[in-house]
C-alpha cells in the first residue's frame, strides 16, 4: 500500500491528541474520513485510545458529550463530510451551553471541490458558528505539514479544556488517495508528540461576609462545591436534583414552597449560585429579583445573569464571623415539614405474630398491599434514587419525571448528570452510554442508570444500536411510559388549548412496543408495575436493559 498525505496527517493529529490526554474517540464511518478512522483503529490496537463506533452522527456526538461530562476531558468525534457534520449540531449546542469539552474532527472535500456541485460537499468551515470555542479549516495535507496539524491539535484541545470548556472544531479537507499505509512509528504505538502540559493558576476566592441573609443555590453540574460552601457558611442549601450537591445537613426539602413563603424566600438578601439552575420557576424568580444580591460562581457553562446585575467570581470562601443560626434554623425547621415519606408502611410485627386470627389477617393485608404497591412517578424516582450509590451514575432525561424527582427526593451523595444546558430531549440515551463507557473504563464498578420519559427514549432510539465488537456497558434505561408528552400538563398551553388540540400537537401520544424495540437492538427488557418488582429489577445484573414502568397519564 502506498503512502498517503491524508494518512500521515491523520496519524500526527491523533498522536498529538492522545498525548494531550484524549482517551476516547467516537467514529461514524464514511469515505472522506477513512484516514482518520483507520488511524483511530490503529491507536486502539496499541492501547492509546478507546474507540467507539456509531453509525448515527447525532448519537456519536452525544456519546462523546457523555464521555466529556464524566471525565472532564474531551472525546474526539470523527465523521465524514456533508450532512454527517450537521448531525453533530445538537450535541455541539448542548456542550456549548453546559460547558462540556468536545472535539469535532470533520472530514471535508478540498477547497477546489467546494461550491461547484461536487458530491457530498457543502460549506463546512464555521458550520457551528458561535457554539465553538475554536474552529479552523485545516490546510489540505500534502505530506510535509504534520507540524501544522499538531499545532492545530494543541490549539483545539486548549480551547476545549479552557476556563470555559466547550466544543472545538477542526475541519479537515483531504484529497485522494484518502488512505494509505500508516507510518511505521504510529502503527507500532510510538509517539512523536511534542506537547508539554501546563498548569492553570489557582483561582482567587472572594470572601463572603456573613451579614446578609444568604442561600446557596445549586443548579445542574454544581457539584460538591455548593454543599461545601453551605456547610462552611451555615447557609440553607437549595440543590436541584441534577446538581450533584443534594446531600449534607443544610439541604432544604420542598424548596419551591419555601421560596414562595414571604417569611423565608421573601427575606433572602443574597444568593450564591453554583451551576445552571433550570428546574423551578421559583429559583428563576429569586435570581431575577432586584433586591437580592446574586453572586454566581463561574463554572463550565455560560454565565448566569437573570437580574442583569449578577456578580461573577471564580471562587468563593466565607469570611470570619458568627453564623446566623436563627436564619438557618428557620429554613431547616420549615424544611423538615416538607419531607415526603417515600417508604411503605412498616410491617406490623406484633400483628404478624399475633395469636388473634383477625389481627394476623389485618397485618398480612398490610404486607400484601406493600408488595403490590403500584409505581407512580414519585415511587419511580424514589426507587431509582434508592438503588443508586456513589460508585454508580444517574442520568436524568428532560422529562416530567425529573421535576417530580426534584420535588420529592431526599439528600444523597450520588454522581448525577443531565443535559440541562438547553434542557432538550436530544441524545439522552447516547449521553448516558457515554457516561457509562467513561465511568466504567478500566473495569471500574458501578451501573449507569438513565431515568427518562417515553418520548425521550423514542427520540434517541438509534442510540440503542451498539456494535457487537465492543464490550457492553453496564447500563439500565428506566422509562416512565405514560403514552407521551404529559410534561405539557404543567405548562400554560394546557390552560388554553382544547383537549383535541393537546392530543394532536402537544402530547404526541404513542403506543410503541418497547419490548419489541429492545429486542430489535439486542437489549434486555422488563416491564414492572409494582415497587417491589421495580426494586428487584434495578439490582438485577445483566446486559444493557430497558426497564419499562407504565404510568397513568394524569
Whether 196 is in a domain gets the answer no
Q: Do 160 and 183 have their domain in common?
A: yes
Among 72-76, 275-279, 360-364, 481-485, which is the least confidently predicted range? 360-364
> Which of these, 446, 338, 348, 395, lies nearest to 65 by C-alpha position?
395
Q: Do 126 and 239 have their domain in common?
A: no
Q: Do 359 and 412 have their domain in common?
A: no
Q: What percent of the chain has pLDDT over 70?
A: 93
Q: Do 264 and 286 have their domain in common?
A: yes
Q: What is the pLDDT of residue 353?
A: 74
Among 102-116, 257-271, 337-351, which is the least confidently predicted range? 337-351
pLDDT at 367 exceeding the cut of 90: no
Q: What is the pLDDT of residue 32?
A: 95
Q: Do 309 and 349 have their domain in common?
A: no
Q: What is the pLDDT of residue 465?
A: 97
> Which of these, 520, 519, 462, 510, lies nearest to 485 by C-alpha position?
510
Q: What is the pLDDT of residue 288?
A: 97
Among 65-74, 103-112, 152-161, 358-367, which is the least confidently predicted range? 358-367
Whether 198 is in a domain gets the answer no
Dihedral of CA atoms 279, 285, 289, 291 in degrees, nearest 10, equals -90
Whether 115 is in a domain gets the answer yes
Q: Do 235 and 149 have their domain in common?
A: no
Chain-centroid distance of CA 318 in Å reads 30
Last-in-domain residue among 187, 222, 242: 187
pLDDT mean across residues, the chain = 92
Whether 292 is in a domain gets the answer yes
Q: Do 319 and 351 have their domain in common?
A: no
Round to whole Å and give the CA distance between 485 and 469: 36
pLDDT tens per residue, range 317-337: 999 999 999 999 999 999 999
pLDDT at 363 exceeding the cut of 70: no
pLDDT at 520 exceeding the cut of 80: yes
Round to whole Å and give the CA distance between 256 and 334: 12
Q: Do 57 and 166 have their domain in common?
A: yes
Whether 192 is in a domain gets the answer no
CB 100 within 8 A of CB 89: no
Q: What is the pLDDT of residue 71?
A: 97
CB 56 within 8 A of CB 84: no
pLDDT tens per residue, range 525-544: 999 999 999 999 999 988 99
pLDDT at 494 exceeding the cut of 90: no
Q: What is the pLDDT of residue 222?
A: 96
Whether 165 is in a domain gets the answer yes
Among 85-94, 138-147, 487-496, which is the least confidently predicted range? 487-496
Whether 252 is in a domain gets the answer yes
Q: What is the pLDDT of residue 372?
A: 67
pLDDT tens per residue, range 249-294: 999 999 999 999 999 999 999 999 999 999 999 999 999 999 999 9
pLDDT at 471 exceeding the cut of 60: yes
Round to whole Å and give the CA distance between 334 and 340: 13
Confidence of residue 345 (pLDDT cuts 50, 70, 90): low
pLDDT tens per residue, range 288-318: 999 999 999 998 888 999 999 999 999 999 9
Looking at residue 463, what DSSP letter applies? G
Q: Do 417 and 460 have their domain in common?
A: yes
Q: What is the pLDDT of residue 369?
A: 61
Whether 201 is in a domain gets the answer no
pLDDT at 352 exceeding the cut of 80: no
pLDDT tens per residue, range 395-406: 999 989 999 999
Q: Which residue did the predictor score with more confidence, 61 or 373?
A: 61
Q: What is the pLDDT of residue 493?
A: 72
Q: What is the pLDDT of residue 143?
A: 76
385's grid cell: 434514587
The count of domains in the chain is 4
Among 26-40, 140-154, 533-547, which is the least confidently predicted range? 140-154
Looking up residue 418, the CATH number of its domain turns out to be 3.40.50.970
Q: Do 536 and 428 have their domain in common?
A: yes
CB 15 within 8 A of CB 193: yes
Q: What is the pLDDT of residue 1?
A: 54
CB 33 within 8 A of CB 53: no
Q: Do 381 and 366 have their domain in common?
A: no
Buried b (16+ CB within 10 A) or exposed e, 522-553: ebebbebebbebbbebbeeeeebbbbbbbbee
pTM of this prediction exceeds 0.75? yes
Q: Do 320 and 358 have their domain in common?
A: no
Q: Which residue range(s) make up the domain with 37?
A: 5-187
Chain-centroid distance of CA 75 in Å reads 14
CB 91 within 8 A of CB 61: yes
**pLDDT, average across residues 483-490:** 73
Looking up residue 331, the CATH number of its domain turns out to be 3.40.50.1220
Amino acid at each position: 500500500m502506498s503512502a498517503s498525505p491524508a494518512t500521515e496527517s491523520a496519524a500526527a493529529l491523533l498522536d498529538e491528541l492522545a498525548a494531550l490526554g484524549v482517551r476516547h474517540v467516537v467514529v461514524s464511518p464514511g469515505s472522506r474520513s477513512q484516514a482518520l478512522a483507520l488511524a483511530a483503529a490503529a491507536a486502539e490496537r496499541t492501547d492509546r485510545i478507546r474507540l467507539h463506533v456509531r453509525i448515527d452522527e447525532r448519537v456519536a456526538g452525544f456519546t462523546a458529550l457523555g464521555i466529556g461530562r464524566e471525565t472532564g476531558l474531551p472525546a474526539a468525534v470523527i465523521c465524514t463530510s456533508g450532512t454527517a457534520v450537521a448531525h453533530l449540531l445538537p450535541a455541539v449546542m448542548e456542550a456549548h451551553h453546559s460547558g462540556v469539552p468536545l472535539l469535532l474532527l470533520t472530514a471535508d472535500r478540498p477547497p477546489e471541490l467546494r461550491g461547484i456541485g461536487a458530491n457530498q460537499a457543502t460549506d463546512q468551515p464555521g458550520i457551528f458558528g458561535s457554539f465553538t470555542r475554536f474552529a479552523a479549516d485545516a490546510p489540505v495535507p500534502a505530506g510535509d505539514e504534520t507540524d501544522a496539524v499538531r499545532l492545530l491539535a494543541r490549539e483545539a484541545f486548549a480551547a476545549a479544556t479552557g476556563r470555559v470548556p466547550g466544543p472545538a472544531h477542526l475541519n479537515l479537507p483531504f484529497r485522494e488517495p484518502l488512505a494509505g499505509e500508516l507510518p511505521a512509528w504510529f502503527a507500532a504505538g510510538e509517539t512523536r508528540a511534542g506537547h508539554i502540559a501546563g498548569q492553570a493558576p489557582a483561582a482567587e476566592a472572594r470572601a463572603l461576609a456573613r451579614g446578609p441573609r444568604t442561600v446557596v443555590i445549586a443548579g445542574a453540574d454544581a457539584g460538591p462545591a455548593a454543599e461545601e460552601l453551605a456547610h462552611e457558611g451555615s447557609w440553607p442549601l437549595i440543590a436541584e436534583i441534577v446538581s450533584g450537591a443534594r446531600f449534607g445537613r443544610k439541604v432544604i426539602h420542598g424548596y419551591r414552597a419555601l421560596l414562595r413563603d414571604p417569611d423565608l424566600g421573601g427575606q433572602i438578601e443574597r444568593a450564591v449560585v453554583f451551576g445552571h439552575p433550570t428546574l423551578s420557576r421559583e429559583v428563576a424568580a429569586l435570581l431575577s429579583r432586584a433586591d437580592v444580591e446574586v453572586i454566581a460562581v463561574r463554572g463550565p457553562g455560560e454565565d448566569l445573569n437573570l437580574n442583569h446585575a449578577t456578580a461573577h467570581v471564580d471562587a468563593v470562601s466565607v469570611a470570619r464571623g458568627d453564623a446566623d443560626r436563627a436564619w438557618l434554623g428557620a429554613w431547616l425547621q420549615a424544611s423538615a415539614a416538607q419531607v415526603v415519606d417515600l417508604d411503605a408502611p412498616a410491617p406490623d410485627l406484633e400483628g404478624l405474630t399475633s395469636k388473634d386470627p383477625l389481627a394476623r389477617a389485618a397485618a398480612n393485608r398490610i404486607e400484601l398491599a406493600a408488595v403490590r404497591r403500584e409505581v407512580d412517578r414519585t415511587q419511580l424516582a424514589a426507587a431509582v434514587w434508592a438503588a443508586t450509590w456513589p460508585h454508580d451514575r444517574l442520568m436524568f432525561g428532560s422529562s416530567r419525571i425529573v421535576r417530580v424527582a426534584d420535588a420529592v427526593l431526599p439528600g444523597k451523595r450520588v454522581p448525577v448528570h443531565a443535559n440541562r444546558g438547553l434542557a432538550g430531549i436530544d441524545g439522552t440515551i447516547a449521553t448516558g452510554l457515554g457516561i457509562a463507557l467513561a465511568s466504567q473504563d478500566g473495569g471500574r464498578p458501578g451501573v449507569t442508570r438513565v431515568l427518562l420519559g417515553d418520548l425521550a427514549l423514542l427520540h434517541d432510539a438509534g442510540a440503542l444500536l451498539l456494535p457487537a465488537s465492543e464490550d457492553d456497558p453496564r447500563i439500565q434505561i428506566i422509562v416512565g411510559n405514560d403514552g407521551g408528552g404529559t410534561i405539557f400538563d404543567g405548562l400554560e398551553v394546557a390552560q388554553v388549548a382544547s383537549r383535541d388540540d393537546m392530543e394532536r400537537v402537544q402530547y404526541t401520544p404513542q403506543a410503541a412496543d418497547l419490548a419489541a424495540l429492545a429486542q430489535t437492538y439486542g437489549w434486555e427488557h422488563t416491564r414492572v408495575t409494582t415497587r417491589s418488582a421495580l426494586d428487584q429489577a434495578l439490582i438485577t445484573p445483566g446486559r444493557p436493559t430497558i426497564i419499562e414502568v407504565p404510568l397513568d397519564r394524569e
